[in-house]
A and B are shown apart, each in its own frame.
Chain A
Amino acid sequence: MAGQTISEKILARASAKERVAPGDILDASVDLLYMHEMLAMALLPFNEIGTTKVWDPEKVVVTLDHWVPPPTPEIAKMHQTIREFCRKQGIRRFHDVGDHGIVHQLIAERGYAHPGELVIGSDSHTNMVGAVGAFAAGIGATDTAAVMATGRLWLRVPETIRVDIRGTLSERTSAKDVILKVIGTTGDDGARYAAVEFTGPTVEAFPMNERFVLCNMTTEMGAKVGLIAADETTKAYLAHTGDPFRPIASDEDATFVKTFSFDVHGMGPQVACPSNPANLKPVEDVEGTKIDVAFLGSCTNARIEDLRIAAELLRGEKVAPGVRFQITPASQIIYRQAVKEGLVEIFLDAGATFTSSTCGPCFGGHLGTLAGDEVCISSTNRNYPGRMGSPTAQVYLASPWTVTASALHGEITDPRKV
């Protein structure tokens, strides 16, 4: 009997089966449900289902991230509704404004998700959390309501696509450049409905912050989940929780429906051009493109390691005249750390703005949106028309290195030349 992939192992356990195969439809028991403001949309169907209680408040985490702090009275009201719901339902792990973070980062850094768990999030980038070896999938409002009511979700067992990465990257080149390269190769639906598992020496050598970037953007391949085996690096990352650690990996003889192999030896920075995450060019091909805005933020690339990169390039320098460079950390924990390390002072001295943590600018919601025809280079994950504001704004996706180097020069810049 063939071995099982990480995804199949987790889904078998969650549905109390010996083993499962791709294509099977399961009724699975959810280990962790996390939500942001989508909870407000989920309350409508939740109230109609006919139950009044969340199935298990200890398995639920809620934070506010999309509109923090609330930019309109209507959204402030939405936050009140969510706050009140969490209080009434006894959801202890409600992270209110001030204690908040972009939900995927908050789940990761607080160690709420563990290897082998079935994690469901009310956001498409839930895939990020799969970097700890969990099956972490995003859903919409009605499914969220169903999980809140029952603790269960029907799932189709996905085929697993392996993305094997080897080779040493060029300087100032990162996991973001790797995943952009992967998406540029597979297309933005190259892994539709599939699980994507990253393997290979380059992945094994990546620290957790880089592994999160890989899994985060499997969403832009259409994947249901992104996964990386839980190893010693994962164990060290989660050690602060004191929870028992159970490693998980695919069996040697597990079946992968497809394997993409990348040798990234010497590969330099990559850029996804307007207006599709798969519209890939090496940075050399777009160098010199004038920019109006640079943004370092989002669940994809705004961890402390990303902010340190920005500070390294900005120290003693100035953002190019006419360019606004905004840095928005992925969580308040990162915000605090950036203050403590003196990074914020470097940002401010350079003329960048530094904001409280929110998803706002990434989805064109608030706190930094783009005008018509503005050109932005961004460390975020999507650049479909209108994503960050005006439908005629042009968004280039790149790594924190490339974003910061470009902010300094007012045009898309190869960070290796700074």
Chain B
Amino acid sequence: METRFKGRVWTFGDDISTDHIIAGKYLGTTDPKVFAEHAFESVDATWAKKVRPGDLIVAGDNFGCGSSREQAPIALKTLGISAIFANSFARIFFRNAINLGFPVLECVGLKTKVKDADVVELDMARGEVRLQDGSMMPFRPLPPNVLEILEAGGLVPKLRKELASGAK
């Protein structure tokens, strides 16, 4: 997988729920484009249009709380968001994102050091983020079993490989 990402920052606060990310009224389909098009609509109706592939999200506590809807990380990944940093993640959102091969990283306090449109660089291998002013901030390393799923590109490719090799 790609291990270095440079991108523009979008900041969000605490307790951003999956209702914020993709509203329930858009879930009556399985088309990821629909989820992407309406991402964060309740926060900013034009957000999905402004996002560019490679952008990053930096948020506060408990990002992704609420419903188990995987449509939330699917929406953000489909828009091309390269990674999400937060002080902490709600558990189902965290699993869902990792299962999609979507990096979600705990970096306590990053939120207070960046603002919208800052450009930061994430180095997965070194476990650090380079801020716009050049300073570095470490993020919490992912547990080995989680990293393994992420590095496989998600849970589906990992399982496909395991099943094919008869490991399970």
Is B one of A's binding partners?
yes
A residues with CB within 8 A of B: 25, 38, 40-41, 44-45, 48-51, 66-67, 71-72, 74-75, 78, 122-124, 138-143, 145-146, 149-150, 152, 154, 156, 188-189, 192-193, 222, 224, 276, 363-366, 369, 382, 384-387, 389, 391
Complex interface bits, B66-99 against A, C-beta within 8 A gives 1, otherwise 0: 1111110000000000000000101110011001
Q: Which of B17, B61, B71 has the most CB of A within 10 A?
A: B17
Whether B15 pairs with A363 at a CB distance below 8 angstroms is: no
Interface size bracket, B side: 35 or more
Whether B88 pairs with A391 at a CB distance below 8 angstroms is: no
Within the complex, the shortest CB–CB distance from B13 to chain A, in Å, comes to 11
Residues of chain B within 8 A of A224, CB atoms compared: 91
Verify if B27 is at the interface (C-beta below 8 Å from A): yes
Whether B159 pairs with A150 at a CB distance below 8 angstroms is: yes
Residues of chain B within 8 A of A41, CB atoms compared: 30, 70-71
Whether B143 pairs with A222 at a CB distance below 8 angstroms is: no
Whether B156 pairs with A189 at a CB distance below 8 angstroms is: no
6 sampled A-B residue pairs with Cβ under 8 A: A67-B28, A74-B28, A142-B156, A192-B91, A382-B19, A385-B19
Residues of chain B within 8 A of A364, CB atoms compared: 19, 23-25
Residue of A nearest to B100 (CB): A142
A142 CA / B74 CA spacing, docked (Å): 11
Whether A188 pairs with B62 at a CB distance below 8 angstroms is: yes
Within the complex, the shortest CB–CB distance from B54 to chain A, in Å, comes to 23
Residue of B nearest to A189 (CB): B62
Residues of chain A within 8 A of B145, CB atoms compared: 25, 154
Query: Which of B116-124, B134-142, B160-168 lies at the binding interface?
Result: B160-168
Within the complex, the shortest CB–CB distance from B101 to chain A, in Å, comes to 10
Verify if B42 is at the interface (C-beta below 8 Å from A): yes
Whether B67 pairs with A124 at a CB distance below 8 angstroms is: yes
A222 CA / B14 CA spacing, docked (Å): 13
Verify if B154 is at the interface (C-beta below 8 Å from A): yes
A49 CA / B155 CA spacing, docked (Å): 9
Whether A145 pairs with B15 at a CB distance below 8 angstroms is: no
A139 CA / B155 CA spacing, docked (Å): 13
Within the complex, the shortest CB–CB distance from A185 to chain B, in Å, comes to 16
Residues of chain A within 8 A of B168, CB atoms compared: 150, 152
Given contacts A44-B30, A192-B91, 19 further A-B contacts (CB under 8 A): A40-B30, A123-B68, A124-B67, A140-B69, A140-B70, A140-B92, A140-B95, A140-B96, A143-B95, A146-B159, A149-B163, A188-B65, A364-B19, A369-B25, A384-B20, A385-B20, A386-B20, A389-B25, A391-B41
Q: Which of B20, B68, B145, B163 has the most CB of A within 10 A?
A: B68
Whether A124 pairs with B68 at a CB distance below 8 angstroms is: yes
A67 CA / B27 CA spacing, docked (Å): 10
Within the complex, the shortest CB–CB distance from A397 to chain B, in Å, comes to 13
Residues of chain B within 8 A of A72, CB atoms compared: 28
Residues of chain A within 8 A of B155, CB atoms compared: 45, 142-143, 146
Nearest first, the 7 A-B pairs at minimum CB distance are A391-B42, A363-B24, A140-B96, A142-B99, A140-B70, A189-B62, A386-B42
Verify if B112 is at the interface (C-beta below 8 Å from A): no
Within the complex, the shortest CB–CB distance from B107 to chain A, in Å, comes to 16
Residue of A nearest to B28 (CB): A75
A41 CA / B32 CA spacing, docked (Å): 10
Residues of chain A within 8 A of B43, CB atoms compared: 385, 391
Within the complex, the shortest CB–CB distance from A323 to chain B, in Å, comes to 23
Residues of chain B within 8 A of A78, CB atoms compared: 28, 30
A71 CA / B42 CA spacing, docked (Å): 22
Residue of B nearest to A382 (CB): B66
Given that A142-B100, A384-B66, A391-B42 are known contacts, is A49 also in contact with B143, CB under 8 Å in the complex?
no
Whether B27 pairs with A365 at a CB distance below 8 angstroms is: yes
Within the complex, the shortest CB–CB distance from B114 to chain A, in Å, comes to 22
Given that A145-B156, A384-B66, A385-B42 are known contacts, is A189 also in contact with B61, CB under 8 Å in the complex?
yes
A388 CA / B41 CA spacing, docked (Å): 14
Whether A192 pairs with B25 at a CB distance below 8 angstroms is: no
Residues of chain B within 8 A of A123, CB atoms compared: 67-68
Given that A122-B68, A222-B90 are known contacts, is A50 also in contact with B19, CB under 8 Å in the complex?
no
Residue of A nearest to B101 (CB): A142
Q: Which of B65, B90, B96, B99 has the most CB of A within 10 A?
A: B65
Whether A276 pairs with B15 at a CB distance below 8 angstroms is: yes
Whether B154 pairs with A142 at a CB distance below 8 angstroms is: yes
Residue of B nearest to A26 (CB): B145
Complex interface bits, B1-38 against A, C-beta within 8 A gives 1, otherwise 0: 00000000000000101011001110111100000000
Residues of chain A within 8 A of B99, CB atoms compared: 140, 142-143, 146
Residues of chain B within 8 A of A154, CB atoms compared: 145
A124 CA / B72 CA spacing, docked (Å): 13
Residues of chain A within 8 A of B160, CB atoms compared: 48-50
A385 CA / B23 CA spacing, docked (Å): 9
Whether B62 pairs with A386 at a CB distance below 8 angstroms is: no
Residues of chain A within 8 A of B156, CB atoms compared: 45, 48-49, 142, 145
Residues of chain A within 8 A of B88, CB atoms compared: 189, 192
Whether B23 pairs with A139 at a CB distance below 8 angstroms is: no
Given that A49-B160, A364-B24 are known contacts, is A138 also in contact with B100, CB under 8 Å in the complex?
no
Whether A74 pairs with B68 at a CB distance below 8 angstroms is: no
A82 CA / B43 CA spacing, docked (Å): 33
